[in-house]
Amino acid sequence: MPYTEAPGARVPIRMWTDPEGVEPAAMDQLRNVTRMPWVHGLAVMPDVHYGKGATVGSVIAMRDAVSPAAVGVDIGCGMTAVKTSLTAEDLPDDLGRLRSDLEAAVPVGFRMHRSPVNVARLHGLKTGDWDRFWGRFEDLAPSVHGRRDRASHQMGTLGGGNHFLEVCLDDDGTVWTVLHSGSRNIGKELAEHHIERARKLPHNQDLPDRDLAVFVSGTPEMDAYRRDLFWAQEYARRNRDVMMGLACDVLRRSFPGVRFGQWISCHHNYVAEETYDGVDVLVTRKGAIRAGKGDHGIIPGSMATGTYIVRGLGNASSFNSASHGAGRRMSRNKARKTFTEADLAEQTRGVECRKDTGVVDEIPGAYKDIEEVISAQTDLVEVVAHLRQVVCVKG
């Protein structure tokens, strides 16, 4: 669908959804973003919903500035997927053992590895130069220097919330492995450090929302944030690579001879340096993926409504972006009050997954309709494959 421009903004708010269907608090957040003098443009994805500082599902292009709260606390959160040579016929009728093996290989929730993963033993791992990566740790904000050991033990772990590791089937019955996670505790601590630092700067005292506090180019604060931000984004990408390597090893042990295709990976909480209309901007995608022409991306629904593998069409009006998922239609608290374990069991029927109260807030009914979200952005992406879960691991 073509975008709609929302009224009442300093710069155009291009929306790939009906503004009337967006909750008023989220619309207020979007208008507050446009009142910031550094904002060059704002694109809003069909999965948009209220967030801290900036809405989830927004793409903010700024000149010479970036807002750490708009990036969020899970810096570099994103997804990775890989197609395998397996088919549905290769999978056992009872998938409980496969789920248990994945949970044993990839720690979930607050758990971490007992010792750091030996990445040299992970067959097919896409990431290298680990010494250089860890060597930059001491350049990060001093407040996290005592976290090196924890960060190394959390490398290759899933976390909780909406993060997941899945085994899926596409419409042809081919098996895929898909996962969603970010920069774990180290990304959170770096984000919180810089969000608090930005809030105290003099130029941020009169903003319409203090959560939108920015760092400005050419300042020590901006230099420090960019250093930590890009390191955390790299940590998130490597974290997903290690988890995918571990998951693929589980499949190799369970299905000798399995082969894997090219990995697809994308961030959806991050900052990138890009150019539009001849203007160099810092693009913050908070709950959005890059969808430049030919870029492959991953757009999940919920723990039982499938995932789409997409290819970007390069629409500059959206700053070459697309949605990062279905997006929540109700808060976690509301979901817990609205749904029961029985509802969860019914809505996840046919998926080998947790069905207890601990994940009721992740029930499919708490999310928007992924089919509607995909159909609202046909000018942003084209569908490459549609996947449906048969195993879903959550923290």
**Which residues are tagged catalytic?**
324
Instruction: Give the span between the Cα atoms of 145 and 346, in whole angstroms.
Output: 46
Q: How many residues are there in the chain? A: 395
Q: Is the dihedral of CA 28, 32, 35, 40 positive or negative?
A: negative
User: Distance between CA atoms of 393 and 395, rounded to whole angstroms?
Assistant: 7
Structure token digits, residue 263: 């990995």
Structure tokens at 122: 């992970």
DSSP character at residue 17: S
- Which residue carries 């931000």 as its tokens? 229
DSSP of 100-147, one letter per residue? HHHHHHS--TT---SS---GGGSTT-----HHHHHHTGGGS-GGGGGG
Measured CA to CA, the distance from residue 161 to residue 56 in angstroms comes to 15
Block residue for tokens 């979007």: 30
Q: Which residue has the tokens 């959806």?
A: 268
- Local structure of 82: helix, strand or coil: strand
Q: How far apart are CA 34 and CA 88, in angstroms?
A: 48
B/e letters for 148-167, b = 16+ CB within 10 Å, e = fewer, are: eeebbbbbbbbbbbbbbbbb
**Ranges of H-type helices in the chain:** 24-34, 68-71, 96-105, 130-135, 148-154, 184-199, 220-254, 332-338, 341-347, 370-375
CA 236, 224, 194: angle at the middle one, nearest 5? Answer: 70
Strand partners, 367: 328
